[in-house]
Amino acid sequence: MTAAWIDQSARMPVPGDNGAIGLDTEFMRRDTYYPKLALVQAAHENERWLVDPTAYDAGADVRALVARRCCVMHSAGEDLQALAPLLGDMPLQLFDTQIAAALCGMGPGLSYQKLVAALLGIDIPKDETRSDWLRRPLTPSQLEYAELDVAYLVELQGVLAARLDRLGRREWHAEDCARLLHQADRQRQGADLQPQRDFRAAADWPPEAQARLRRVLLWRDEAARALDKPKPWLLDDAHALSLSLQPPADPQALFERVKGLRALRGPQRSELLPLLHAEATPGELDALEPIVAAPRGQYKRSADAMREKVHAIAAKLDLPAGLLCPRRLIEELAVARTWPAGLEGWRRGLLEAELTPLLPG
């Protein structure tokens, strides 16, 4: 291993210029709400650092590494969540190589290893993908894997940025990276305030029942954060729907219906039952955003026609159709007949004139 191992602040040298830096993390998320950050890897020119956040408070060092630099990351969504406690509200400049590769016509979800092989002709081992990264000391194989995960990011950025420029898609990439950062910031700040919108099965419920579902889902997120346990351990989606539609009559009935949920213990059940029994307030009903149903009838025919159009446009542009316009947003557009926020920016410029005539009359 040639990377410097950093397990205390005094060992962290900071690069002297503001050039791009490769950044990655290793984390574990098996039995917790929050990812357990195990390692932060960084690369700048010929220097490599492996920062051990389990040994000391590495926040100041990580912030110093990324300050005023473009951070080159691959599929950064989960890494941004893992880094959130160290970065806080510090703004980040992001270049995501997976997004860039998709916009350059290399297909969706391309792995870092495959991207390095395709663009640089270098094979990277994948043996430690599912390692226990919280174990100490890390093995030589883990250390090599961790270092290689950032070694080529800045070089990839150079190749991909040139391709984006040739295709005229640099602004598209910047928009998508900004959207990813915005999503990570919203997750850091708290729960989705309209979580019921992801539950299409409740689209036909009365507003009072939808408000109850929203109340339960908001409680689930808050309680899972407080316990630092995965949300399904506390209350999985099926139970959230069932309890919200038909609340149990008393504590014993609730106990019988939720047996097996490993994090829903007595104190949590005592919090949940009153939420299930409370009447929806006028404020809750006013705040409730409607759940968009799955398209049926003319709405399904409209969605199918729009999906065909999206695939045709994506094929012409050599883009993944799911990147250009996810199926969920096509269906939302067909049913709600309002332009989805997820299709703003460059997508709207490409799609609005083509899809709007296909909306149901």
Q: Where are the domains of the chain?
A: 4-189, 195-287, 298-358
Q: Which pLDDT does position 278 carry in this prediction? A: 97
Helices (H), the chain: 59-66, 77-87, 97-103, 112-120, 140-151, 153-167, 170-189, 207-227, 231-234, 237-245, 251-258, 266-277, 282-287, 298-317, 321-324, 327-336, 346-355
pLDDT at 157 over 60: yes
Q: With the C-alpha atoms ordered 161, 165, 170, 173, is the resulting torsion angle positive or negative? A: negative
Q: Which pLDDT does position 31 carry in this prediction? A: 92
- Provide, rounded to the nearest whole percent, the portion of the chain with pLDDT above 70: 98
pLDDT in tens, 186-209: 888 876 899 999 999 999 999 999
For the domain bounded by 4-189, which CATH number is listed?
3.30.420.10
pLDDT band at 1 (very low <50, low <70, confident <90, very high): low
The domain made up of 195-287 is a member of CATH 1.10.150.80? yes
pLDDT at 138 over 80: yes
pLDDT in tens, 18-73: 789 999 999 998 899 999 999 999 999 889 999 999 999 999 999 999 998 999 99
pLDDT at 104 over 90: yes
d(CA 102, CA 314): 11
Distances (CA, A) of 98 to 24, 77, 83, 111, 360: 13, 11, 18, 7, 35
pLDDT band at 271 (very low <50, low <70, confident <90, very high): very high
Between 282 and 1, the more confident residue is 282
pLDDT band at 125 (very low <50, low <70, confident <90, very high): confident
d(CA 62, CA 132): 22
Q: Which pLDDT does position 188 carry in this prediction? A: 82
In terms of pTM, does the model score above 0.95? no
pLDDT in tens, 308-331: 999 999 999 999 999 999 999 999
Judge whether 94 and 71 are in contact, CB under 8 Å: yes
Distances (CA, A) of 239 to 72, 207, 336: 40, 19, 27
> For all residues of the chain together, what is the average pLDDT?
94
Q: Which pLDDT does position 187 carry in this prediction? A: 84
d(CA 188, CA 57): 19
CA angle 280, 229, 83 (to 5 degrees): 105
Residue appearing with tokens 């809750």: 284
Integer distance in angstroms from the first to the last C-alpha of the chain? 64
